[in-house]
Structure 1
Amino acid sequence: MNTSPRIVAGCTLLVMALGSALAACGGDGNPLSEAPYDAADQVSFNAPEGDGEKADPARPLEITAEDSDGRITDVTAVDAAGRHVAGELSADGTRWHSTSPLAADARYTVRVSTEDEGGAPGRKVVTFDTGKPLTKQRLDVTFGPKAGKYGVGQPVTAELSRPVKDPAQRAVVERALKVRSTPSADGVWHWVDDKNLHYRPKDFWPAGATIRMSSNLEGIKVSDRLWGGRAKPLTITTGDRVMAVTDASSHWMTVYKNGKEINSMPVTTGKPGFETRNGVKVVLGKEYYVRMRGTSIGIAEGSAESYDLPVYYATRVTWSGEYVHAAPWSVGSQGYDNVSHGCVGMSTANAEWFFDNVREGDLVKVVNSYGDTMEPFSNGFGDWNLTWAKWREGSALTGGKPETPKAEETARLRPAAV
Structure 2
Amino acid sequence: MLPIRTSRPTLAAVALAVSLTACSAQAADKDPAAGRPAAPAAVTVADRTAGKPVTVTATGGKLTAVKVTDAKGEPLTGRTDANGTRWTSDRKAAPGTTYTAEITSRGADDKETTTRSSFSTPAPGKVNKLTLAPGKNTTVGIAHPLSIVFDLPVTKKAEVEKQLKVTTSNGTEGSWGWIKDWSGRDRADWRPKEYWKPGTKVTLEADLNGTDSGGGWFVRDYATGFTVGDAQVVKVDLDGHELTVRKNGATVRTIPVSGGTPGGDKRSWRGTAVLMAKEGTINMNSETVGLGDAYDKMVDYSMRLTWSGMYAHAAPWNARYFGNANHSSGCIGMSDENAAALYALVKPGDPFEIKGAETKGTVAEGNGYGAWNVSWADWKAKSALN
TM range (shorter): 0.5 to 0.7
Q: CA deviation at 1:334?
A: 1.5
Counterpart in the other structure of 1:159: 149
Counterpart in the other structure of 2:201: 210
Q: CA deviation at 1:163?
A: 2.2
Do 2:301 and 2:340's aligned partners in 1 also have CA atoms closer than 8 Å?
yes
Q: CA deviation at 1:141?
A: 4.9
1:174 aligns with 2:161: yes
Counterpart AA for 2:246: Y
> What RMSD in Å do the two structures reach over aligned CA positions?
3.3
With over 3 angstroms needed to count, the CA separation of the structure-2 counterparts of 1:170 and 1:295, relative to structure 1, is closer
Q: CA deviation at 1:346?
A: 1.4
2:220 aligns to what SS in structure 1?
strand
Distance in 2 (CA, whole Å) between partners of 1:265 and 1:321 is 21
Counterpart in the other structure of 2:179: 192
Pairs within 5 Å for 1:345-356: 345-356=333-344
Counterpart in the other structure of 1:136: 123
Partner residue of 1:281 out of 273, 297, 313: 273
With over 3 angstroms needed to count, the CA separation of the structure-2 counterparts of 1:143 and 1:333, relative to structure 1, is closer
Distance in 2 (CA, whole Å) between partners of 1:126 and 1:228 is 31
Counterpart AA for 1:108: G
Q: TM-score, normalised by structure 1?
A: 0.62
Distance in 1 (CA, whole Å) between partners of 2:44 and 2:76 is 13
With over 3 angstroms needed to count, the CA separation of the structure-2 counterparts of 1:179 and 1:367, relative to structure 1, is same
With over 3 angstroms needed to count, the CA separation of the structure-2 counterparts of 1:233 and 1:288, relative to structure 1, is closer
Counterpart in the other structure of 2:382: 394
With over 3 angstroms needed to count, the CA separation of the structure-2 counterparts of 1:126 and 1:203, relative to structure 1, is farther
Counterpart in the other structure of 1:255: 245
1:109 aligns with 2:97: no
Distance in 2 (CA, whole Å) between partners of 1:244 and 1:394 is 27
1:185 aligns to what SS in structure 2?
coil
Do 1:109 and 1:126's aligned partners in 2 also have CA atoms closer than 8 Å?
no
Distance in 2 (CA, whole Å) between partners of 1:360 and 1:272 is 28
With over 3 angstroms needed to count, the CA separation of the structure-2 counterparts of 1:286 and 1:227, relative to structure 1, is closer
Partner residue of 2:348 out of 360, 371, 376: 360
Gaps of 5+ in 1: 1-44, 64-78, 82-104, 113-123, 399-418
Structure 1, residues 198-254: CA drift from partner, whole Å, max 9, x if none? Answer: 11111122212221111233335667x976532221112221121111111111111
Q: CA deviation at 1:271?
A: 1.5
Counterpart in the other structure of 2:192: 201
Counterpart in the other structure of 1:294: 286
2:142 aligns to what SS in structure 1?
coil
Do 1:284 and 1:316's aligned partners in 2 also have CA atoms closer than 8 Å?
yes
Do 2:256 and 2:322's aligned partners in 1 also have CA atoms closer than 8 Å?
yes
Aligned residues: 296
Structure 1, residues 264-320: CA drift from partner, whole Å, max 9, x if none? Answer: 12111111132210011111222332333433333343xxxx334442222121223
Q: TM-score, normalised by structure 2?
A: 0.67
Q: CA deviation at 1:188?
A: 1.3
Q: CA deviation at 1:332?
A: 2.7
Structure 1, residues 89-148: CA drift from partner, whole Å, max 9, x if none? Answer: xxxxxxxxxxxxxxxx94432443xxxxxxxxxxx3455256776543255554333222
Do 2:80 and 2:88's aligned partners in 1 also have CA atoms closer than 8 Å?
no
Distance in 1 (CA, whole Å) between partners of 2:154 and 2:323 is 49
Percentage of matched positions with identical amino acids: 29
Distance in 2 (CA, whole Å) between partners of 1:151 and 1:326 is 22
Gaps of 5+ in 2: 1-13, 18-40, 58-65, 69-74, 96-120
Q: CA deviation at 1:377?
A: 3.9
Do 1:281 and 1:381's aligned partners in 2 also have CA atoms closer than 8 Å?
yes
Do 2:15 and 2:42's aligned partners in 1 also have CA atoms closer than 8 Å?
no
Distance in 1 (CA, whole Å) between partners of 2:277 and 2:219 is 31
Q: CA deviation at 1:53?
A: 5.4
Distance in 2 (CA, whole Å) between partners of 1:259 and 1:329 is 33
Pairs within 5 Å for 1:393-412: 393-398=381-386
With over 3 angstroms needed to count, the CA separation of the structure-2 counterparts of 1:265 and 1:58, relative to structure 1, is closer
With over 3 angstroms needed to count, the CA separation of the structure-2 counterparts of 1:186 and 1:126, relative to structure 1, is farther
Distance in 1 (CA, whole Å) between partners of 2:247 and 2:330 is 25
